[in-house]
Amino acid sequence: MENSKQKVMSNLIWRFAERSGAQLVGFIVSVVLARILSPSDYGTVALITVFTTIFQVFVDSGLGNSLIQKKDADDIDFSTVFYTNVLFCIVLYLIIFFSAPLIANFYGNKELIILTRVLGITILISGIKNTQQAYVSKKLIFKKFFFSTLLGTVTAAVVGIIMALNGCGVWALVAQQLVNLTIDTIILWITVKWRPKLVFSFKRLKGLFSYGWKLMASAVIDTVYGDIRQLVIGKFYSPSDLAYYNKAKQFPNLIVNNINTSIDSVLLPTMSKEQENRERVKAMTRKSIKTSVYIMAPLMMGLAFCSNNIVSIVLTDKWLSCVPFLVIFCITYLFQPIHTANLNAIKAMGRSDLFLKLEIMKKVVGIVLLIITMRISVMAMAYSLLVSSVLSQIINSWPNKKLLNYSYLQQLKDILPSIILAVIMGAIVYCWNFLNLGVALTLCLQVISGAIIYILGSIVLKIDTFNFVLDTIKGFKKS
């Protein structure tokens, strides 16, 4: 049991290091590019990624998760999924290739034809990479991700910046995405020893698909719903409005992807091994929610209360219009661990049918809210996302009241001390703005004082998750 815990924690840390490194490099590059390129350049690429992201979900979700969830998945299963994914991605690329003129006509921008066809190549590359990713997750060898992702991100960063400095504009952003995924895939194939065998089983594919198609459908619904706001903004508002909206998401995403994605990657395969022991699954779900929120709450609240200073320093004043959106996204993403842990518990226990039903329920609510607000303003649409997120928490946690005897009210009770402390911390550090000490100095004082307040508050309030995080860090240093 102890070795199992150490393996889980070691993989979690490797996954976190991989995500942190990639996100940090990516964030620095985005800051540099944001200073070189205009908001409209970012908005133009965002118009295309609405569609490519949706197509990407067909590749990244479904069969890969089926391999992870299946206890006795072997080379026949992995090879079958590999060949299916490659063929499927070729079909998807042909669809997006011939649909490019329609996308361009929809937005009234002929430049999008060639941009869409080039950026769509990422779909083909993902088809080759996907099964290797599933193998790494299944075997809990996330150290492999660290090297492939970091090298891909750094190489793409160099290419993107050089092209931007040479006046390539929007093509710098397209090239960055293509190079990143290509290098990432090549390194992963070099470091991971699994190779597809010359075998294929329709029977295995049918079994994997019966579980995976529901997760894929759920992911498609979730992605379409998540991107539909971008599509609406791109259609009814300006590219700059879309750029401000997307750039605001980037800041909290830097944190959420590091923490939440790391936990998400390790949690599903770990829970799947314990799917017959509901008490163990409940304990892991509870620990995941408490720990994730404890770490994420001060970061989200700190980012929200310091948003003006951060945007002014990092992106310059030309991006200050994204601040109101940034605050809304910080509050929305604060509760992301509740979604992740609850849904992983449902997936691990083999209830992909229930997973799909939940997605449909959440998205119906979200679409109704979007329709009500889409003609009002972009800000109204952002607020509708916040309301939808709160309702989605309740929906996601509802099944686990019966499956794990762990209700939404119990989950809120577990995370409430961390959230209250984070809000108090944020309110206090915001007061530094009234002293007019200058943007840079004020931000430094806010960060330092915020960390001190949160740590001391954790000790005074005796928040048990603080001791768990501290012990985990000490244990990792010893190992």
**Three-class DSSP labels, 183-249:** HHHHHHHHHCCCCCCCCCCHHHHHHHHHHHHHHHHHHHHHHHHHHHHHHHHHHHCCHHHHHHHHHHH
Q: Would you say residue 22 lies in a domain?
A: no
Q: Using an 8 Å Cβ cutoff, are 96 and 118 in contact?
A: no
Tokens 């997973």 -> residue = 355
User: Given this model, what pLDDT does residue 1 score?
Assistant: 45
Domain range spanning residue 388? 237-479
Q: What percent of the chain has pLDDT over 70?
A: 81
Query: Greatest CA separation found in the chain?
Result: 69
Q: Would you say residue 259 lies in a domain?
A: yes
Q: Would you say residue 426 lies in a domain?
A: yes
User: Given this model, what pLDDT does residue 101 score?
Assistant: 92
Q: Would you say residue 75 lies in a domain?
A: no
SS3 363: helix
pLDDT in tens, 331-356: 888 888 777 777 777 776 667 677 77
Q: Give helix then strand counts, H and E, for the chain.
A: 19, 0
| Residues of the chain where predicted confidence (pLDDT) is lower than 70 | 1-23, 60-62, 64-65, 69, 71, 140-147, 211-212, 214-215, 226, 257-278, 348-350, 352, 469, 471-479
Q: Would you say residue 266 lies in a domain?
A: yes
Q: Would you say residue 429 lies in a domain?
A: yes
d(CA 163, CA 175): 8
Contacts of residue 56, Cβ cutoff 8 Å, sequence gap at least 6:
122, 123, 126, 223
Domain count, the chain: 1
d(CA 352, CA 199): 27
Chain centroid to CA 98 = 29
**Confidence (pTM):** 0.63
Q: Would you say residue 475 lies in a domain?
A: yes
pLDDT in tens, 158-212: 888 888 888 888 888 888 889 988 888 888 888 878 888 888 888 887 877 776 6
Q: Would you say residue 193 lies in a domain?
A: no
